[in-house]
Structure 1
């Protein structure tokens, strides 16, 4: 959505109008004008050859169908922008009138405009897949204030307020269910086709629909920071970042158009000067045909539309790509680095063993760990609290918690200091006596004395092994980068069939590893990283391409990512790569097809073997075929 139409939709932006819930029908008026121009053109053709009204009818048809082109051409000339398709069409048709080819002059403009309208309709179809995401936007929120229900705008609801969602209504803001149960439809957000169960204590995201239950939800985020607002922001700006291919076409058109005009002038002037029997009228006509054929519409329209189609097709498959440049990078991934927890594995830990130090009871180790982890949202903390049958609790006076990224928790209460984390954390405080365990280990110390360790297991996600097989076929190098213990990382790597795995990495360590992977990759190769949490934000920002897994709940990850996967399925990465590669193949097909046809008809035109009707096909016809081909990515299904 453009900046100017944040409040009021612009006149010709159907996407903006849809976002504001308004209807615009500029295409209806356009088709009516073209229908009138076509009737006048047909009437002129059917009149007797000597009919005096033929020329006025051709001129009227020409002005009705091409008036907009003439106005744009004049406006551009005033601004010093001479060489675009409007200028080419204007001088070509003026020339046709000058040499008495009235039917062809009117026909060229009429069919050109019909082609433009059809292309706009095709572009609208491409936009609609993105605009459909606007349906996510909740129209209102039922908020309970002073015991009464009020219907307000979602933007007016504050954190901590209670909202009511009736069956069939959309959840307005992210929150936690206080009471009520049923099923919620998350398909618009995650692509999950089946409704999922909802009950008290469960988190729900804005944009979901309550299928059959009445839910009371405590708001956790304002609308501006909700999952649905983030998705809409991505969708509205998805096409704002040009790919290198799009930039090339823009530069190409700037050089190509003046070159074409220069060649057309030479075609019109040189043959009559060189050859005595060459007619100026004949060669001038051929020059006009040359101009019509050479309009770069097929390239200028189909390439960006192809990228937009790819972005729309990916969105339908639950993959949000922030722009054409990122779609292009996604297609050229050479090295893919993956986080482990929450990306390859379920991120649902379970305490499998408690190993106390000598003279310490296992229950004491578990209780100390639960005290330290009682303020953390990390999956490991949840597993420890579950094992200790404790609850997450707010800090009270005299308590302090420092969560050291990639290491663990430092918890203080008065003079009591509890450490719960990996071996690095305890070594930082000079604690000794730790012994390595299997899987993910949380070592516990109190006031500098080692108390024991907890061993936790984390299973690979369903389908992760098959997804890794697919990725191995699509990228040259697959690597795991994780902050978990090296033994746990190595175990996961072996289970999934990944040969390179690095564990025990702090966020800065992940960044260093990614920089090393980038340095070792061939020049121009793309190194991507896929992660799911706030700790991954630095490495996501550093990678050539950042993919956020299941990032609807992680603001930091969604901001840093270039591609957002709306579920936490690793299979979506392979699907995104395939969609992007198919999209680029289609764009290349368009470029080759357009240039080949234009080159062939240009040659025929210069030799006098192609008339203005062939020129119309080479311009409008090729453009329509290329645009139709560009829409294919919208229907990709993974």
Structure 2
């Protein structure tokens, strides 16, 4: 509990004890009223103060005004009819404040998930000077500076490890508790906690542009974008509150006047004023005004705890209506890392063929060449290689142990007058020839993420009608990946502008109320992310432009998190509609009962505070998303 909440709890306890005790003290008249005013003011002075300020600022109609009028009116009736029944006035204020305390605690609970994420903000960065570590403000660290991160410290700025190995705790960023190993040459993002070894990191971004700053900015701004449901409730309360105030006034005045003027009977002012005050307490829109934003806030908090950052409740609402999910391929459904997947049709041992290819490719920095060298896995002896010639768009030739080795595509084989064996596997084919004789080929392909196939299947189970993949890759490669993962449609050999055109076409053909989500990670995906109804960016390895353009950011690049995000959004929207229907139904019934005199002030307390507590309890269920 916060200091403010503890103070309120003490006031509630004091007022409750005084209220109970006063009912056992046999006093009447003015002394009884004065004694009951003590717990009334203890529990309600701030409500009266806020109501007074609202009247002075010409912002009269709010819940504070309703509570003040209802309770002061109840005291006035008790004085007028000499019943001495001041219990209701104190009880209404007491239970209202209990409801407010409960709501404050619930908001604090949902904020905790986001505040845990906020805890990733680093307080300092270590810079080594004259053999000593000096702590500086992360904002003062320039790009290219070497910083030192010791065990237990947060990584303050994005960079590349230049010395040391360690294990990183990334749970604050990704929601996953599994530690990640890091070594020299690895890129490291800010916000992680260094768990074991000392790391020296060369910064590649300024603090304001680093991952941790971007995340904090996204979360801090998330509550500023309201959903249609929240806008509806805000507008509803704006017109609803004055309407019920005027309705209560009419209920207090018109029936007694009609009774007196038309029927010639006694007006019974006290009875009708009491009904009007009951009507006011029942009508208080707290349950809606509090629980609806709280539901979205809890949904965003629960999602952030799972490593899904939603930039606003409007995107959370839109995500619940998603029917089409469109994917980029490289880095989204696949790892974006080339690996040797096989050595085929070899006239010699596969290991020996891979060795000749790695030696021939040893001077090239091309990703394909590097993947062959990694697959070879041994230190390359450059003294065995001579006469290296790289032929642009074809491949390389080189003398290895005195033998002429050619490694490249179909064009290179054709150029050398060698007939390669056709391969229909998805990926890049590197043909190998030695001394003019074809020896076999190496298959290199981008590897699917281990959860991609499961994610596509889970999306369909979650109600997604169409899954589509857009890629710049060759048709043969794209088709095989799409078939393997179970995608509905695939479009290949696309430029960034072509991807936008495809998304425009899909937006035009989808049902009007259905939403289209695009998932991407690269800088060339930014235009499509901005054009889709919901843009989802892979945040851990995604580009800054993609994260900036997206509406939802997945912090660990796991496609399964898309399913998690959609399920969270659907749960949140279900809770919102449950609260709206429940609160309006109960209030409508109680308002009618109050107007005809069946419901008393105790029923009014339930209709206000009871309904609010139930709605808030329902709202905080949006926090619990672990098992979705």
The residue number in structure 2 matching 1:10 is none
Q: How far apart, CA to CA, are the structure 1 residues paired with 2:37 and 2:229?
A: 40
- Shift, 1:365, TM fit: 14
Is 1:168 paired with 2:157? no
**One of 446, 469, 475 as aligned partner of 1:458:** 446
For 2:537, what is the secondary structure of its paired residue? strand
Q: Which residue, 20, 33, 36 being the options, matches 1:42?
A: 20
Aligned to 2:299: 310
**Is 1:82 aligned with 2:60?**
yes
Deviation at 1:617, TM superposition (A): 1.2
**Residues of 1 paired with 2:197 and 2:107: CA distance?**
39
Instruction: Note the 1:400-479 alignment, pairs <5 A.
Output: 439-440=426-427, 456-473=444-461, 474-479=463-468
Q: Could you tell me how far apart the structure 1 residues matched to 2:589 and 2:369 are?
A: 68
CA offsets, 1:292-314, max 9 Å, x none?
00000000000000001111111
Offset at 1:606? 1.8
- CA change 1:551–1:526 in 2 (3 A) is farther
Aligned to 2:81: none
TM-score (norm 2): 0.82
The Cα offsets for residues 507-549 of structure 1, whole Å up to 9 and x where unpaired, read as 1111111111111111132111000111111110111100012
Q: Is the 8 A contact 1:44 1:53 kept in 2?
A: no
The answer to whether residue 544 in structure 2 is matched with residue 571 in structure 1 is no
The 8 Å contact of residues 144 and 161 in structure 1, kept in 2 or not, is answered as no
SS at match of 2:223: coil
d(CA) in 2 for partners of 1:134, 1:364:
47
d(CA) in 2 for partners of 1:456 and 1:181? Answer: 29
Q: Does 1:143 align with 2:127?
A: yes
Does residue 325 of structure 2 align to residue 336 of structure 1? Answer: yes
Q: 611, 615, 626: which one pairs with 2:604?
A: 615
In structure 2, the partner of 1:584 is 573
Q: Decide whether aligned partners of structure 1 residues 604 and 489 sit closer, same or farther in structure 2, where only a CA change above 3 A counts.
A: same
Aligned to 1:97: 75
What number of residue pairs does the alignment pair up? 558
Structure 2 CA distance for partners of 1:319 and 1:533, relative to 1, 3 Å: same
Q: Check whether the contact 1:532–1:551 (CA below 8 A) recurs between aligned residues.
A: no
CA contact (8 A) 1:338 1:479 kept: yes
Match of 1:300 in 2: 289
Q: Which residue of 1 aligns with 2:166?
A: 182
CA deviation profile, 1:66-120 (whole Å, cap 9, x unmatched): 2222222222223322221112112212221221253212221122112111111
Distance 1:522 1:87 in 2: 45
2:193 — aligned with what? 209
CA distance in 1 between partners of 2:362 and 2:161 (Å): 30
Tell me which moved more, 58-67 or 468-477: 58-67
Structure-2 separation of matches of 1:476 and 1:382: 40
Tell me by how many angstroms 1:499 deviates.
2.4
Structure 2 distance, partners of 1:527, 1:133, is: 28
1:69 maps to 2:47: yes
Q: CA deviation at 1:59?
A: 2.0
- Tell me the residue number matched to 2:417: none
Q: Give the match for residue 496 of structure 1.
A: 485
Q: Deviations over 1:431-462 (max 9, x none)?
A: xxxx998645599xxxxxxxxx9974122211
Which piece of structure 1 moves more, 268-277 or 210-219? 268-277
Partner of 1:515: 504
Deviation, structure 1 residue 227: 1.2
Structure 2: how far apart are the matches of 1:600 and 1:382?
73
Q: 1:636 aligns with which of 615, 625, 628?
A: 625
Shift of 1:57: 2.2
Partners of 1:442 and 1:224 in 2: CA distance? 43
Distance 1:162 1:553, change over 3 A: farther
8 Å CA contact 1:45–1:54 kept in 2: the answer is no
- Specify every segment of 5 or more residues in structure 2 that has no aligned partner in the other structure, as ranges: 79-84, 345-355, 378-392, 394-408, 411-421, 431-440
CA distance in 1, matches of 2:278, 2:542: 58
Give the distance between the partners of 1:381 and 1:57, measured in 2 at CA.
89
**What corresponds to 1:400 in structure 2?**
none
The answer on whether the counterparts of 1:119 and 1:624 sit within 8 Å (CA) in structure 2 is: yes
- Residues 556-592 of structure 1: per-residue CA shift (max 9 Å, x gap): 1111111101111110001111111011111111111
Question: Over residues 137-185 of structure 1, what are the superposed CA-to-partner deviations in whole Å (9 max), with x where a residue is unaligned?
Answer: 2222221134432122222222222222222222222111112123221
Structure showing greater radius of gyration is 2
Q: What's the TM-score, normalizing by structure 1?
A: 0.81
1:322 aligns with 2:311: yes
Structure 1: gaps spanning 5 or more residues: 1-13, 15-23, 356-361, 374-378, 390-407, 409-421, 424-434, 444-452
Q: What does residue 57 of structure 1 align with?
A: 35
Bigger mean CA offset, 314-323 vs 94-103: 94-103
Q: 1:342 to 1:298 in 2, by over 3 A?
A: same
Q: What value does the CA root-mean-square deviation take over the aligned residues?
A: 3.1
1:73 and 1:552, CA in 2 relative to 1: closer, same or farther beyond 3 A?
A: farther
